[in-house]
Structure 1
Amino acid sequence: MSDGRATSFGAAAGDYEAARPDYPFEAVAWMLEKLPHRSHRIADVGAGTGKLTRVLADAPDAEVIAIDPDPLMLEALRAAVPGVPTFLGTAERLPVPDASLDAVVLGQAWHWVDPVVGSSEVGRVVRSGGTLGLIWNTRDSGTDWVRRLTAIMHSSAAEIMLDENGPAVAEPFGALEQEEWRWVRPITRAQLHRIADSRSHLITASDAERRSIHDDMDALFDELGLEGDATIDLPYVTRAFRAVRA
C-alpha cells in the first residue's frame, strides 16, 4: 500500500465500524457469480472491521478469511465477525499459498494498492478461472447537500479515483466488468460526524483542521434542520468490479 493514510484506520476503528455502511448483498453476489463452482474459498483483503467479511461469511458454501495490515482493525473484525480466520498482510504481500483461493475481494481498499504488484500477487494465490472483486460504497453527489458535504470533508482517494479513470488491474487478470447499485441510508448528524472521523483525511489531520471541518459540517446540518436523533436520507452508489484470472 503506497500511502501512509492507508494504515491510519486502526486509530478510528470504532468510528469506522459504527458509521460506515454495509455492502448490498446483491453487489457482493454479483462480484462472485462467475466462480466456476458452488463451494469456494475467499479472502477479504483490506478487510478492516469486517464490513465486507460479514456479507461473504453469510454466503452458503463459502470459506472466508480476512486479511488487513492493521492489527487494530482485525481486532474489531474478530469482535464483529467471530470465527473468521484473520491474518496480517496486504494485497501486495498475501500470507496464503499459491493457487489456494477461488476469489480475492477488496472493499474500499484497492485505491491504496499498487495495481500491477497487487494484481500479480492476487494472481499468485487465486486459481485459474478465479475472481478478483473490487467494491466501493460512495455518497451520491448528485444531491446538492451531499455535494456540499463532500466539499467540506474533502474527496477521498477512492472518490477521486472512481470519478477519474476508475480502478485498474493487470495480468494475470482480464478486463474489469462493472455494475452499480443506488440506495438510500437514513442517517443522523452524529453518524455523519463519525463517518467523517473514520476517513483517512481527518484521522491524519491536525486538531485545528478537524475542528474546522466539524464546524462547517454543523453549519450545513443546522441549515438542513438536522437535529438530535432526526435523520436525513443519504444517497449512496455502490460500485462493484470483477475480473477473471486467466
Structure 2
Amino acid sequence: MTPIDLNADLGEGFGRWRLTDDEQLLSVVTSANVACGFHAGDAVTMRRVCELAAERGVRVGAQVSYRDLAGFGRRAMDVPSAELTAEVAYQIGALEVFARAAGTRVSYVKPHGALYNRVVHDEEQAAAVVAGVLLADATLPVLGLPGSRFLETAAKAGITPVTEAFGDRAYTDAGTLVPRTEADAVVTDPEAVVERSLGLARDRAVVSRSGARIAVAARSLCLHGDTPGAVELARRVRERLETAGVRVEAFA
C-alpha cells in the first residue's frame, strides 16, 4: 500500500488573531502548509510555526496565495503573470528565512484557496506559479490536484508534482473540488470525513457529490486547520489510517 502524507494549513493568523491550533496539529500531521503573509500569517507567526515544525520533524511547505488578507485568499483575482510569479517567489523566500533559522527548510510549495483552484484549469496562471517556484528554488516539489494544469506544467518544467486529495471537500464527477460558493462543498460530518479519508488513502477513490465513485490517486491528504474541531478530527483520521494499515509519512 502506497504511503500517505497528511498535510494541514497552518500559521493562518495575523497579529493577535489566530485561526489554527498550530501546536496541536503539528503533533498529528507530517507536512505543514505555512501561510506566507498574503492570505494569512505574519513574520512572527511564520517563525513560530517553523520552529514548532522543526522540533516535531514535520516538513515545512510554503502555502502561497493571491495577495488577499481581507478575503483569506479565497476570492477570485486577476493578477498579471509577471506580478504573480514575483509574488510567489517572494512568499517562498520569506518562509525560507524562518525555516532555515529554525534548523529546517522549505520542502515544497502549495497554492492556497482561489489560486489553488484557478491553476487547476488556467494554464497562464499555472505557468506563472511554476515560474515563481523556479525563481525561488527549482528543486522544490509542488502540491496540487491530480490532472491539474498546474501539476502538468510543473512536470514539464522539471519540478516534481505531488498529487493531493481532500477528505472534507465534495468532489465533482470530473475529480475537481466543488466550489465553496455552492451548497455542500464542505463535508462537515466527522465520521464521513474519516471514512472518505480512508477511502482516498487506501482505495484511491472517493464518492462524488452526485454519488459516482471516482478515482483519485493522491500521495498527500489535506486536513483543513480552520475546520471546527480540526485537531480531534485530524487525530481520528490518522488513527483510522494507521489502524487500517496505511503508512503515514511525509512525501518530501
Larger Cα-atom Rg? 1
Normalising by the smaller structure, the TM-score range is 0.3 to 0.5
TM-score with structure 1 setting the length: 0.34
- Structure with more strand by fraction: 1
TM-score with structure 2 setting the length: 0.33
